[in-house]
Structure 1
Amino acid sequence: MTSLNRPARLNRALLSILGLVLVGSGGLAIALHFGNVPMLPASSPLVPGTDAPPVWSLYVTVAVCVVVGLLALRWLVAQLARKPKSHTWRMENDPDRGRTELAASTAIAPFLAETRGYPGVHDTFGTLAGTRQSPALALVITTEQDGSPTDIQERLDSHGLPRLRQALDLDTLPVTVEFRFTDKTHARVR
């Protein structure tokens, strides 16, 4: 199943790589201190002279800084990607006779339209992630200040979600629901 929290996976990978780089550089520093690196004796100076570095090293430094900056920017953008990845579902009993493909966004469009009609609901966004064998539904429901999340959740559990499971021919459908509230002018309030 596709993870519902892709930025967390990226964060763990980046932190693991950073940790390995720091452990490696720390180990190298300790090995240099005790003279365990034959190419670099501990008694040699840190910098050979006071001349300016060669021009190529400045270009390499700039290139490395640009790459690190772009990776940091990619990391920041990944923090905003909260929508899980959806798939195209393939429903086939007999592949020789053909197959039916259904986009996950198309599959839940009627459910989202129905949910928008619930009392107190201002808007609904949802993503059906994963495959048909292991689906997951992530909902973000924007309610008005006088809307009752409890009533909306009860209506989802008793009416909306059973109909969606029946329409998609699923026994179970894990769901996460996030409620957001708006004021009378529909400005987002946290």
Structure 2
Amino acid sequence: MSAHNPPARLNRGLLTLLGLILFAAGGLTLATHFGWPGLFDPASTVVPGRGRPPTWALYIVAAVAVLLGLLCLRWLTAQLIRKPRRGIWRLESDPDRGRTELATTTAVEPFADEIETYPGVRAAEASLTGAQHNATLTVVIHTEQQASLPAIRHRVRTEALPRLRQALDLQALPTAVEFRFTGKPTSTVQ
């Protein structure tokens, strides 16, 4: 999740750029091989004075390149959808009398809504991951530039978080809070 990995956007951007460069190089190589006009001479050698490698070696190189490309594509798609899994908690003490299911996204909506009412907070996102006995809460709070972060953190710790723990019937809930500034800083004109 990006809340714990701030360089992820740069990582994905650089990987995408590298992928586009490699894609263009592969296209250029194919265009040269098939002799499309305006490109390099397909009869010229890359390394002068060397003989052509055996055909089987070219097939192996091509297969390895395709395999590496697919593995890189799989890794890149995993980076794009990298969010912790949210689940459904089953809250039941006696399954014969029925069961209660609680989506973790539903459980944290009121918590995030409460944080959004705090002064200086523009938006809040919360995700609850893991099973009920070892759940983890991640909170991303978007604030104005001049917002008091210690005051917001204090209210989250002393007001919102105890209410959430009580509602979920949890003794402890490990929590990671990330602040993100939104908008431009306001300046006063004198």
Deviations 1:147-190 (A, max 9, x none): 111111010011100010111111110000010001249xxxxx
Partner of 1:110: 110
What TM-score does the superposition give when structure 2 sets the normalisation length?
0.65
**How much does 1:70 deviate?**
2.4
**How much does 1:53 deviate?**
3.5
Deviations 1:30-70 (A, max 9, x none): xxxxxxxxxxxxxxxxxxxx763343432332121122122
| Matched ranges for 1:1-190 at <5 A | 52-184=52-184
Equivalent-residue separation in structure 1 for 2:106 and 2:54 (angstroms)? 59
- Contact kept in structure 2, 1:126 and 1:139, CA below 8 Å: yes
Give unpaired runs (5+ residues) of structure 1.
7-49, 186-190
Equivalent-residue separation in structure 1 for 2:107 and 2:183 (angstroms)? 31
Equivalent-residue separation in structure 1 for 2:147 and 2:81 (angstroms)? 28
Deviations 1:122-159 (A, max 9, x none): 11111100000100001111100111111110100111
Equivalent-residue separation in structure 2 for 1:160 and 1:125 (angstroms)? 13
Equivalent-residue separation in structure 2 for 1:115 and 1:82 (angstroms)? 24
Give unpaired runs (5+ residues) of structure 2.
6-49, 186-190
Partner of 1:15: none
Whose relative contact order is higher, 1 or 2, with alpha carbons under 8 Å and at least 6 apart?
1
Deviations 1:93-132 (A, max 9, x none): 0112221111111111111111111111011111100000
**How much does 1:76 deviate?**
3.7
- Contact kept in structure 2, 1:5 and 1:84, CA below 8 Å: no
- Contact kept in structure 2, 1:142 and 1:182, CA below 8 Å: yes
- Tell me the amino acid that sits aligned with residue 161 of structure 1: L
Equivalent-residue separation in structure 1 for 2:130 and 2:117 (angstroms)? 26
Equivalent-residue separation in structure 1 for 2:117 and 2:82 (angstroms)? 25
Q: Secondary structure at the match of 1:84?
A: coil
Equivalent-residue separation in structure 2 for 1:5 and 1:75 (angstroms)? 18
Equivalent-residue separation in structure 1 for 2:135 and 2:57 (angstroms)? 51
Greater Cα shift, 132-141 or 50-59: 50-59
**How much does 1:74 deviate?**
3.0
Superposed CA RMSD in Å reads 2.3
Partner of 1:45: none
> Percent identity of the aligned residues?
53
Partner of 1:13: none
Equivalent-residue separation in structure 1 for 2:67 and 2:148 (angstroms)? 48
- Tell me the amino acid that sits aligned with residue 119 of structure 1: P
**How much does 1:77 deviate?**
4.1
